Amino acid sequence: MACALPHHPLFHFLLLFLLPFSIVARTNGIVAMGTSITANNKDTPWLSPSGVLEFGFKPHKEKNLFLLSIWYYKIPDQTIVWYGHDGVPVSTGSQLSLTVDRGLVLNDPQGKELWNSQLILNDNVAHGFINDTGNFIMESGGVIFSRLSETNFSQGRFQLRLLPEGNLVLNTRDITSNFSYAAYYINDTYDSSNLSNSGYRVIFDETGFMYILRRNNQKFYITQSMLFPATEYFHRATLDFDGVFTQYYHSKNFNSSTKWTPIWSKPDNICVDIGRGEGNGACGFNSICKLNDNQRPDCKCPPGYSLLDPNNTYGSCKPNFTQSCLEDDINSAEDIYDFETLINIDWPISDYEHMVPATEAQCKRSCINDYFCAFAILGEGSCWKKKVPLSNGREDNVVNR
């Protein structure tokens, strides 16, 4: 019997934890029944046969906290590829055990169960096995969450889903209710005229290729070519905390300066591709998204606005001022308020009025004398007045505003 845990959505990415065999030893990947490991700085994590991957409690950046995870052991950047317990770190003294009836069980220092691997077993577990390869399979209906931030592994705003009808999509969600907003990437593997052509599995195999498998066994490749063969390179894929889904490679023949390098990423331009409706887009409300040289989003507040949470540059921005409509102001708005001009920036769905035709002077005058107007966008002879909070802000040459 072999159980591949990654079929479960909790298994955020990569990695197999197979469960056959017996006997314990640190170097051959096998973990004996009843073995346990404690969250402290002394217990040795479980190592895969070739020492590529390690499984156990990884010290968190905050003191006395540990993250139950699997990480690359050999390379200098010990990248985490999977984490349990929904990414919530546990305190010193927590324990992970391999049990006969329930697979892996995580207890807090007082022995209270925090998490288990939720294996659906017809049979009892015989042993654990840390496999070197880690091919990943996502079934129809499966979902992967981004983490919340670079350092917080809780479920974030972005999702990768293989929808039951066959499309692979990326979308943001409302964190409290799980409601999914419009997709910002769709790989159209749904064929309404012929369901046997629809996608039903996403596979990231041991050769480093990722593809969508259609019901008729056709493979729809997301990884287009392999210039970096898996014999010489490690491969991993992650839905990063900034919403970009990326496959990376890393040479197996590395030195201290070797880094993970992207092979491809989706969507092509998250700042422009995201935001066809509700939700705040790649950055927070009132924020502006700009793609950087690494094809990743940078977020910044408009002039006169600052971060709501100064520690979260990807979050929302608040105005430094309050817009007032005191009677005194009504005839003197143009004396009180001023305009800042921003180029090629837009919040495409925050309009409440649209003036055509409109000159720059008319657009400015209309906005400055309008209590509701936060921003006015001018382009193609049109003036759009915008209300707060602004969402899906982007700065890009394609904007032309």
Give the residues lining the site for ligand NAG (CB under 6 A): 9, 16, 18, 89, 129, 131, 133, 135, 143, 148, 152, 154, 178, 186-188, 194, 196-197, 216, 221-222, 224, 251, 255, 257-258, 303-304, 306, 309-311, 320
Nearer to ligand NAG, 189 or 392 (CB): 189
198 close to 189: Cβ distance less than 8 angstroms: yes
Sign of CA dihedral 56, 131, 7, 99: negative
In the complex with ligand NAG, the residue whose CB is nearer, 311 or 397, is 311
- Smallest gap, in angstroms, from Cβ of residue 119 to ligand NAG? 16
Residue 89 and residue 60: Cα distance in Å, rounded?
7
Q: Measured between alpha carbons, how far is residue 366 from residues 79, 188, 292 in Å?
A: 53, 43, 34
Q: What tokens does 148 get? A: 């919340």
Q: In the complex with ligand NAG, which residue's Cβ is closer, 236 or 384?
A: 236
Looking at beta carbons only, is 194 or 400 nearer to ligand NAG?
A: 194
CB of 331 to ligand NAG, least distance (A): 26
Work out how close the CB of 212 gets to ligand NAG at its nearest, in angstroms, rounded to a whole number.
Answer: 8
> Nearest approach, Cβ of 327 to ligand NAG (angstroms)?
26
Q: How far is CA 269 from CA 86, 101, 119, 160, 188, in A?
A: 29, 46, 38, 16, 18
User: Which element (helix H / strand E) includes 362?
Assistant: helix 360-368
**Residue number, 102 or 264, with CB nearest to ligand NAG:** 264
- Shortest distance, position 135 Cβ to ligand NAG, whole Å: 5
Instruction: Give buried/exposed letters for 105-138 (b at 16+ CB in 10 A, else e).
Output: bbbeeeeeebbbbebeeeeebebbbbbebbbbbb
Kind of pairing between the strands at 46-47 and 53-59:
antiparallel
Q: Which residues of 210-226 are buried (b: 16+ CB within 10 A; e: fewer)?
A: bbbbbbeeeebebbeee
Which residue lies nearer to ligand NAG by CB, 68 or 383? 68
Phi-psi region of 107 (alpha: psi -120 to 50; beta: other; left: phi over 0): beta
Amino acid making up residue 284 = G
Question: Smallest distance from the beta carbon of 90 to ligand NAG, in angstroms?
Answer: 10
d(CA 284, CA 296): 15
Q: Are 286 and 388 in contact (CB under 8 A)?
A: yes
Closest approach of ligand NAG to the CB of residue 353, in Å: 26
- What is the nearest approach in angstroms of ligand NAG to the Cβ of residue 126? 13
Residue placing its CB nearer to ligand NAG in the complex, 212 or 289: 212
By beta-carbon proximity to ligand NAG, the closer residue of 143 and 182 is: 143
Q: Which helix (H) or strand (E) holds 55?
A: strand 53-59
- Closest separation between CB of residue 361 and ligand NAG, Å? 24
Strand partners, 186: 169
Specify the residue, 251 or 362, whose C-beta has the smaller distance to ligand NAG.
251
Cα–Cα distance, 245 to 236 (Å, whole number): 11
Separation in Å, CA 58 to CA 42, 64, 98, 293, 370: 11, 11, 18, 31, 55
Q: Which of 333, 343, 328, 330 is nearest to 378 (CA)?
A: 343
Q: How far is the CB of 33 from ligand NAG (least distance, A)?
A: 17
When the beta carbons of 287 and 383 are compared against ligand NAG, the nearer one is 287
Nearer to ligand NAG, 112 or 321 (CB): 321
Please, what is the minimum distance in Å from the beta carbon of residue 330 to ligand NAG?
A: 24
